[in-house]
Structure 1
Amino acid sequence: MKRVITTLAILLVVIVAGMTALVLLVNPNDFRSYMVKQVEQRSGYRLEVSGDLRWHVWPKLSILAGRMSLTAPGAAQPLVTAENMRLDVNLWPLLSHQLSVSQVMLSNAVVRATPESAPQQPQNAPVAPGRSEAAAPASGWSFDIGQLRVANSLLIWRQPGGDEYNFRNLNINLNQDARHLASIELSTSLTRNQRNAVLSLKGQLDASQYPHRLSGQIDELNYALSGADIPPQGIKGTLSAQGSWRAETQQFALTQMQLSANDSALSGEASGSLASPQQLALQLHATQLNFDNLMANAPQAGDGATQHATVARAPVIATPREQNNLDSPLNAMNLAVNLKADSAVWRGLTLQDFALDVANQQGLIALRTLRGRLGEGDFSAPGTIDIRQAETRVALQPVLNKVAIQPLLAAFDLPQTAQGALSLNGELSGEGLSLEAAKRRWRGDAQLSASDVKLAQLNLQQMVRRAVARASDRVSSDESSEQGIRQLDGRLALNNGVLRLTDLKGEGDRLRLQGGGEVNMPTQQLDMTFGLTLTGWKGDDRLVALLSQQAVPLRIYGGWNNVQYSLPVDQLLRQQLQSEAKSRLNQWLDRQPKNSDSDSLRKLLRP
């Protein structure tokens, strides 16, 4: 055992002594001009390294350099600058006077992906042929890089004419083999407009046809979004896909996409181009899609007093630049989205077989398909959205077929005062795309039909019976098992928040209804007047005939939180009694001899 330990100790001493001698004998600054020359020959980029190069022997044999920069041909700014660079070199090639770099590490680097750092072709420059391998160097040195590591760095990304994005805490680990097949690990974060994004990626990259073509796959991309105008719980999820990129046409494609966002799961593919105008086409399918978990202003389930989520807002530090449609990226691109979801949730409504087909042409959005099933009914709302001007303009043609009324009222933040099934066919237009804008700045009309309508806390048949019973004991009516309106038809007109209902006609068990009125959504006031005719009376023949033919006026009015109603049945019966008494008195006068007193009484009784 002592011999083994002694042998290992001697071997270690020899290795350390050999490395020390190698470090003393080989000057790393001899590699500087060669590295600069090789980088320029192979890529056309200009490498600059400041300061002396020095050896570092633990834990790996490395060359340490100070500030470095890498600049594309004709670029105004460097593509990469770094405060520190470390080159891990292989020992055995170094013994044969060869430089083999196993890993390049950059620390505190700044990577610029901007128009100023992009390669610029000189005027009248000849078009280069396809990629060709660089010629072998004349000297005895060789140069190769298998690994790249970037730590604690910054990526500045900006498209021509676009905004600038700073990706901080950039960490990249890239391992590449001789066939230019690489594995990549990347993590970074982005903070912009009081919103934060964090992402990490693991994937594979095929750069064998670079710079003309790149392909690869995203094994796993994890992301998380938080901050202002984002749901309190944030948005986080994963993405995996196969991808490709063609430099000549600036086209990209993603296939076999698997995307999750909170509790939503989607699959599909995407393709597009970054050439102007930018193109993007999405084909997506979702088993479960929860819009409420992805929208900042969606209503939250639970306590009735809390209708909306508490969403963080950006603090007012200075007068912000007013945001309008001119800032929208949709004005500079063509977008096509085809989305189908087995189940979706929007503002508390559970939608089945949801389908969305959208085509955007630089700000003019065509909703070619927007449909789905809602409970026992279905809906469709094709139309257009124009964001080419500062003010969004919307035009929709909604069609509802037997959609439950109460959940629909809850989704639009209206009092849940009615139950039943609603069918509607109309046209709407206006300014703004939010729910608040729709309730204040939209206009249009529609033909509506509802079935099995029940009003909350209002039994119309019972109200009329009780009012008649209080006014007179000469008539009565049996209670009916049906309490609502079996069928109701009419027209609806919306004008900047005022919802006017006209030509309402309905019928139920022993009940006929007609009338109309308006609902003022901005002021939360309503004023509706109905004429109610109830049959099935028993008792005094004249009162029975009157109540079976004469409509009883019902007025519902006031604020949403303090609704009042008026049902003047006693006035109707009083008028009937007065008319009956007057008729009987006239009959008695007709039987009396004419004199001055009877003539005066007749004049008083004339209408």
Structure 2
Amino acid sequence: MKAFGKILGLGLLGLLLIIVALGFALTHLFDPNDYKDEIRQLARDKGHVELTLNGDIGWSLFPWLGLELHDASIATLNNPKVPFADLQMLGLSVRVLPLLRREVQMSDVRVEGLNLTLTRDASGHGNWEDIGKPLPGPNVASAPPAGTPGEPVDNAPSKPEGSERSVKLDIDSLTVNNARVLYTDEKTAQSYTAESIQLSTGAVHEGVNIPLKASAFISASQPNMKARTELTGELRFDRKLKRYNLEDMRLSGETSGEPLAGKTVTYAAQGQVLVDLAANVASWSSLKVSANQLRALGELNLRDLDKQPQLSGALSIAQFDLRTFLEGVGQPLPATADANVFKKLELVTRLEGTPNSLALEDLAVKLDDSSFSGRVAVADFAKQALRVSLKADTFDADRYLPAKSDQAKGATAARQAEVQQQEAAVAGAGTTQLPDAPTKQAWSTDKLLPVERLRTLDLQAELAFGALVLDKLPISDAQLSATGQNGLLALKTLRGGLYNGTFEAKGTVDVRPAVPQIGVNTKINRVPVEHFIKRDGPDKTPPVKGLLTLNSDLTATGNSQKALVDTLNGTASFTINDGVLVNANLEQQLCQAIATLNRKQLSGEQRGKDTPFQELRGSLVIRNGVASNPDLKARIPGLTVNGNGDLDLRVLGMDYNVGIVVEGDQRAMPDPACQVNERYVGVEVPLRCRGPLELGAKACRLDKDGLGKVAATLAGNRLKDKIDEKLEEKLGDKVSPELKDALKGLFKR
């Protein structure tokens, strides 16, 4: 606005100079072309500009004072050889007699081929700032101060501002053809150009509506942008009240350029614009904006124009296809897990802002199938300080996550094939060979975090969801609080309800180092474990069910699933209550072991496929993606389980040694072959579990070597019992009990 005021002032100054020059010519009643040198000197002395008149001056006298000026230019006195304005032709005519009444009555005013060249140098000084400034005189510094002896002092009272009647304008029309404005900033190497400027108005009278139409081609250098634009409306102004209205304003056109990646955006804006400089306010009411298929309504208000302007207003955006819109402006969204998201977006909000901030208050947003309400603000544009406080009814975050790359899909498919192959191999659970350990990588190498963006992020976020889906887990009453500044992001809390249980997570993401560092602490309380280990493929049955309670404290580095798992370190403890080992009749396998030790065959039919357990618990120490579990314990009806082993999280494989203390078949009518006589009670039967984690207990087999040792132990115990019986028969009451025990002890060695 300031630069525009300078340019407008320049135009008025030019008109004034022409009128003064014309008056000088008329005074002499000669051809003004004979007095070009005098006119130029008058421009230097009175207007403090360098006026160059290369063309002829055409004029008429009465009753219209007509003037045509051809091929003229204006420069500052500081740089007289470099004009900042030139024109091909200026034509106007003024009624003579109204000038005596301080009224300017003009017929048509025409400007052809006007060029304005505005330049700001490397020090920040603009060439337009020197317009009308005289050159410093040689003795300016030594000029005597006002009131010194010998200098007359003008004691006449100054006239109050505005006491003289203002000049009244009356112009039939104003036409500008083929004008051009060039602005260059040498410090930023940025330039803007408006070319082929066309301007036409109706009759120009103060206090009445003036029809206005303007068009131009606008371009910018960095980034390279071009736009064609047209403005229409009716202008009304009151100079005394400093009030300006542009009614029924409509701005339309189209733009393209580098940021739009070769796409073209068609835009339009309309409404009623008011600027009141006396009250330092401005407004844009009945606002309507469109850009391609986007449509918006609203109003904008500015106050404190003389200080730091304050923005207020409202905005409503009708439902539109955000994905298609962004593709149309050359900013396509990245591929998402669900290609149908970002299809529907609508928004209603109240606006508040300053030159360096903007807040969307009382925000109501509908995105696809979700509704949000709250506040979103950029507290500082320079720092990109984002403030978010939102509540949502439902939101499925999985749909909006980045789609898997082909590499990730290939790795997943390879591992699924390996698991299915192992699963087919153990179809006859308990009788087949021990499964092989998995080898296929289970994790993607796709980048997870936009590191460069996160390093500059200034974030404070408070989010609440009535229902949130995250990693296929339906979370109820979810609460999320997060901050981010200077490359350190903190998840203060993420908590909610999950399958009638609860969970809470806290953590940090540090992207300041070259490799991101992540730390997370989780607490899960009585959540069905099967929902964490859902399987892909035809058989989606989880290997274990039960209520999981988990506490973990983990760290990792990297920016992909694979990198994070490979560097995973920390500790965890877990308990699963009221559970079931699915499709794994562990008790049946043990009955087979007991029958083997009894040298009998099971006569009963195989019972149910699953093995229920009361509790499964243990602790994990994780080093570089491998979790060691030294204290696995389980309570199963008729069995007590102790185990130790490793979980290789890199390939989601397990390798365990499990010892089962047998209590035997406790049913009212047990299988005779599976009965546990007195000498078997307390004996630990060994199992080995190895293979993909998805197989669960189906990957467990009797450890035949260990079972042989158990059989040898049991045989030794049987022999000892027989010897004890024989000694008891032979010795009877002939020796003391102490001697009996000593003799029996000889056979234990």
Q: TM-score, normalised by structure 2?
A: 0.56
**Contact 2:527–2:548 (CA<8 Å) still a contact in 1?**
yes
Q: Does 1:566 align with 2:701?
A: yes
Matched, 1:545 2:673: no
Aligned residues of 1:552 and 1:572 also touching (Cα < 8 A): no
Indicate how the Cα distance of structure 1 residues 96 and 347 shifts in structure 2: closer, same or farther if over 3 A, else same. closer
Deviation at 1:82, TM superposition (A): 4.5
Aligned residue for 1:458, secondary structure, equals coil
559, 567, 576: which one aligns with 1:441: 567
Distance 2:389 2:535 in 1: 28
Secondary structure of the residue that 2:651 maps to in structure 1? Answer: coil
Q: What residue is the counterpart of 2:360 in the other structure? A: 254
Identity %: 20
1:110 matched to which residue of 2?
A: 219
Give the counterpart of 1:243 among 331, 334, 351: 351
Partner of 2:316: 219
Identify the match of residue 405 of structure 1 among 520, 529, 544. Answer: 529
CA distance in 2, matches of 1:389, 1:520: 28
Q: Is the 8 A contact 1:103 1:145 kept in 2?
A: no
1:104 and 1:469, CA in 2 relative to 1: closer, same or farther beyond 3 A?
A: farther
Letter in 2 for 1:181: W
Question: What is the letter of the counterpart of residue 253 of structure 2?
Answer: A
- Per-residue CA deviations over 1:492-524 (Å, capped at 9, x if unaligned) read 122222122221112122221111211213234
Mark the CA change 1:80 to 1:529 in structure 2 (over 3 Å): closer, same or farther: same
The residue number in structure 2 matching 1:151 is: 253
Q: For residue 66 of structure 2, what is the aligned residue in structure 1?
A: none
Question: Compared with structure 1, are the counterparts of its residues 477 and 339 closer, same or farther at alpha carbon in structure 2 (3 Å cutoff)?
Answer: farther
Q: Which residue matches 2:663?
A: 535
- Alignment CA distance shift 1:533-1:151 (3 Å): same
Please give the residue correspondences for 1:292-311 in structure 2 after superposition, counting only pairs within 5 Å.
292-297=398-403
Cα 1:148–1:356 shift into 2, 3 Å: same
Verify: 1:509 aligned to 2:640, yes or no.
no
Q: Distance in 2 between matches of 1:508 and 1:392?
A: 43
In 2, distance between residues paired with 1:26 and 1:489?
97
* Matching of residues 47-86 of structure 1 within 5 Å: 65-66=177-178, 68-69=180-181, 71=183, 81-85=193-197
Q: How far, CA to CA, are the matches of 2:541 and 2:557 in structure 1?
A: 24
Partner residue, 1:523: 651
Residue 29 of structure 1: which of 102, 107, 110 is its match? 110
| Deviation, structure 1 residue 457 | 1.8
Are 1:498 and 2:626 an aligned pair?
yes
Deviations 1:258-284, CA, capped at 9 Å, x for gaps: 123332321111233335433221110
Q: Is 1:201–1:220's contact at 8 Å kept on the other side of the alignment?
A: yes
Q: Deviations over 1:444-489 (max 9, x none)?
A: 1112111122223212222212333355366989999883211122
Residues 579-601 of structure 1 show CA distances to partners (whole Å, capped at 9, x for unaligned) of 25644786799899xxxxxxxxx
| Equivalent residue letter for 1:574 | A
Could you say which residue in structure 2 is the equivalent of 1:464? 590
Hey, what does 1:555 align to over in structure 2? 688
Displacement after TM superposition at 1:440 (Å): 2.4
> Structure 1 458/436 Cα, relative in aligned 2: closer, same or farther at 3 Å?
same
Cα separation, 2, equivalents of 1:112 and 1:28: 33
Q: Cα offset for 1:542? A: 10
Structure 1 CA distance for aligned equivalents of residues 453 and 482 of structure 2: 16
Unaligned runs of 5+ in 1: 1-24, 38-43, 47-60, 115-132, 158-163, 190-197, 300-304, 309-321, 593-604
Specify the alignment match of 1:203 in structure 2.
Answer: 298
After superposition, give the CA deviation of every residue in 1:290-341 in whole Å (9 maximum; x if it has no partner): 1012111489xxxxx9899xxxxxxxxxxxxx99989533333421000010
Q: SS at the partner of 2:590?
A: helix
Contact 2:491 2:508 in 1 (8 A): yes
Deviates more, 1:61-70 or 1:545-554: 61-70
Deviation larger for 503-512 or 572-581: 572-581
Label 1:477 to 1:362 Cα distance change in 2 as closer, same or farther (>3 A). Answer: farther
Residue pairs, 1:342-381, within 5 angstroms: 342-381=466-505
Counterpart residue identity of residue 261, structure 1: L
Larger Rg: 2
Distance 1:260 1:79, change over 3 A: farther
- Secondary structure at the residue paired with 2:650? coil
For 1:9, the equivalent position in structure 2 comes to none
Q: Distance in 2 between matches of 1:134 and 1:475?
A: 111
* Alpha-carbon distance in 2 for matches of 1:293, 1:150: 37
Question: Could you tell me whether the CA contact under 8 Å between 2:246 and 2:274 is conserved in 1?
Answer: no
Equivalent of residue 210 in structure 2, options 80, 100, 104: 100
AA aligned to 2:644 is G
Compute the RMSD of aligned alpha carbons: 4.9
Q: Distance in 2 between matches of 1:374 and 1:356?
A: 15
Residues 641 and 659, structure 2, Cα contact 8 Å, conserved in 1: yes
Counterpart in the other structure of 2:136: none
1:181 maps onto 2:284 in alignment: yes
Q: How far, CA to CA, are the matches of 2:304 and 2:258 in structure 1?
A: 25
Q: Which secondary structure does the structure 2 equivalent of 1:397 belong to?
A: strand
- CA separation in 1, counterparts of 2:269 and 2:470? 41
Q: TM-score, normalised by structure 1?
A: 0.67
How far apart, in 2, do the equivalents of 1:371 and 1:475 lie?
A: 54
Total equivalences in the alignment: 495
Q: Could you tell me which residue of structure 2 aligns to residue 56 of structure 1?
A: none
8 Å CA contact 2:111–2:176 kept in 1: the answer is no
C-alpha distance in structure 1 between counterparts of 2:302 and 2:414, whole Å:
52
Match of 2:265 among 169, 172, 188: 169
> Deviation at 1:347?
1.6
Q: 1:87 to 1:188 in 2, by over 3 A?
A: same
Larger deviation: 330-339 or 351-360?
Answer: 330-339
Q: Distance in 2 between matches of 1:95 and 1:183?
A: 26
CA deviation after TM superposition for structure 1 residue 566, in Å: 2.1
Asked whether the equivalents of residues 254 and 271 of structure 1 are also in contact (C-alpha less than 8 Å), the reply is yes
Give the Cα separation in 2 of the matches to 1:218 and 1:390. 42
> Are residues 508 and 323 of structure 1, via their aligned partners in 2, closer, same or farther at CA, if it must alter by over 3 Å?
closer
Deviates more, 1:167-176 or 1:478-487: 478-487
Q: Look up the equivalent residue of 1:259 and give its one-letter code.
A: V
* Aligned-partner Cα distance in 2 for 1:586–1:354: 69
The CA distance in 2 between the partners of 1:517 and 1:411, in whole Å, is 23
Correspondence for 2:380 among 256, 274, 288? 274
Does structure 1 conserve the Cα–Cα contact (< 8 Å) formed by 2:112 and 2:177? no
